[in-house]
Amino acid sequence: MLVYIDGAYLSPEDAKISVFDHGLLYGDGVFEGIRCYNGNVFMLDEHLERLYDSAKSIMLEIPIAIDAMKHNVLETLRRNQLREGYIRLIVTRGIGDLGLDPEKCPNPSVVIIADRIQLYPEKYYEDGLEIVTVSVRRNYPEAINPRVKSLNYLNNILAKIEAKQSGAVEALMLNNDGYVVECSGDNIFLVKDEIIITPPSHIGILEGVTRNTVISLAHEAGFQVEERVFTRHDIYIADECFLTGTAAEVIPVVKLDRRVIGEGKPGIVTQKLIAAFRHLANNFGTPIFACEEKE
Ligand code: PMP
C-alpha cells in the first residue's frame, strides 16, 4: 500500500505525521471519506468542494489547488491498483508549537490514504437497523459547526460509544433544541405518506454528499422531498426511516428507541432509493484508470 503525504508516495511504515502537527494536538484540520466503485470515484468533485469549503470555514489554506488534489486522489488509487475502495483525504493544520495559534503552522499537510473498505453486512440492508437516541447533543453550530468536516470528531465518537453501550450500531443525535439532526456518521431521512423528509443543513448537520445525491434521486423518481425540522416523535410515527452516508450508502432503519418504525421492515420507498443509489454508484463517477490526466 502507498500513502500520499505532501507530494510523496510512502509505504505505510514511512507514512508518518509529526507529533507537533496541530491535527494531532488539537484535531485542527479537515477530512473527507470518498468511495470508488467499479473503477470510478463516486462524487469526487462534490467531496473536494466540501473539503475546500470546510478548510475555508476554519481559515485553513490547502496548499494545493483543487485540480492537483483531484489528480493526487486518482494517482493514489492508480498506484494502489484499486478499483473498489475507500479514500481518506486529510488536510492537517501542520506542524506548530505547543500553543493553539494556527499562524505558527505555516505548512498544512495533505494525506491521501486509499484502502479496501469493510462493508456493513448485507443483513443490515435486508432487515434494517435498530438505532437509539443518545444523550450527547450534536455540536452547537456556533461552537463547532457540523457542516465543517473537521478532524475533531469527539462529539460523534461520544455518541457512538453511547449507542454501542445500548447495543445499537448507530446513534441518533439531537441538537440543543431537541430536534433530530443526524447520526454519528450518517444523515437521517424519514418517509411519511410518501413524502421524504430530512433535516435542513442549518440546524447542525454535516451536509452529506450521499444525502444530496439521494435527494436528487428521490426527485428524479417523482417523490416530494422536504428539508425541515422534526422531532423523534416524527420518526416513531413515520412509515419508513433510512440513513445515508459514504460508507453505509442508503441503509434502512426499522427501530428507534425500541419503537418499531412502520411495519418493522425496510419500506418500499427506501428499497427504491437503495436500488437507484446502487445503480448510480456502480455506473457513474470519475474514471480512475481510463483518463490520462493532464498535469
Ligand atoms: N454526518 C456525519 C457526522 C458524517 O460523519 C457523515 C459521513 N461523512 C455523514 C453525515 C454522511 O456524509 P456523506 O454522505 O458525505 O458521507
Helices (DSSP H) in 40-199: which residue ranges?
Answer: 44-57, 66-79, 122-127, 154-165
Element (H, E) at 279: helix 268-283
Strand blocks (E) in the chain: 3-5, 8-10, 29-37, 40-41, 85-92, 109-115, 129-133, 170-174, 180-183, 187-192, 195-198, 224-227, 240-245, 249-256, 259-260, 286-287
Across 274-293, average pLDDT: 88
At residue 237, the pLDDT reads 98
Q: Which residue is closest in CA terms to ligand 1's atom 3?
A: 185
Helices (DSSP H) in 16-153: which residue ranges?
Answer: 22-26, 44-57, 66-79, 122-127
At residue 145, the pLDDT reads 97
Q: Which residue is closest in CA terms to ligand 1's atom 2?
A: 185
Domains in the chain with CATH codes: 3-115 (3.30.470.10), 122-281 (3.20.10.10)
List, chain by chain if needed, residues with CB within 6 Å of any ligand 1 atom: 33, 156, 182, 185-187, 206, 208-211, 244-246
**Cell numbers at residue 120, please?**
456493513
C-alpha to C-alpha distance for 256 and 171, rounded to whole angstroms? 10
At residue 118, the pLDDT reads 82
Pick from 34, 28, 35: nearest CA to 49: 34
- Contact by Cβ (8 Å): 200, 163: no
- Provide the angle, in degrees to the nearest 10, between the axes of the packed helices 209-220 and 268-283: 110
pTM of the model: 0.97
Q: Which residue is closest in CA terms to ligand 1's atom 4?
A: 185
Ligand 1: which of 131, 186, 216, 246 to mutate, most ligand atoms within 8 Å of CB? 186
Residue 15 pLDDT greater than 60, yes or no: yes
Judged by phi (left if over 0) then psi (alpha if -120 to 50, else beta), residue 48 lies in alpha
The closest-lying atom of ligand 1 relative to the alpha carbon of residue 156 is 3
Residue 294 pLDDT greater than 50, yes or no: no
User: Residue written as cell 432487515?
Assistant: 127
At residue 291, the pLDDT reads 55
Across 137-156, average pLDDT: 97
Residue 295 pLDDT greater than 50, yes or no: no
Q: Is residue 292 very low, low, confident or very high in pLDDT (cuts 50, 70, 90)?
A: very low
Across 197-221, average pLDDT: 98
C-alpha to C-alpha distance for 20 and 249, rounded to whole angstroms? 35
For ligand 1, the distance from its centroid to the CA atom of residue 236, given in whole angstroms, is 23
Look over the chain and give the mean of its residue pLDDT values, rounded to a whole number: 96
Provide the Cα torsion 89, 93, 94, 96; round to 10°: -160
How much of the chain exceeds pLDDT 70, in percent? 98
At residue 120, the pLDDT reads 87
Active-site residues, by number, are 149
If one compares 290 and 54, the residue with the highest pLDDT of the two is 54
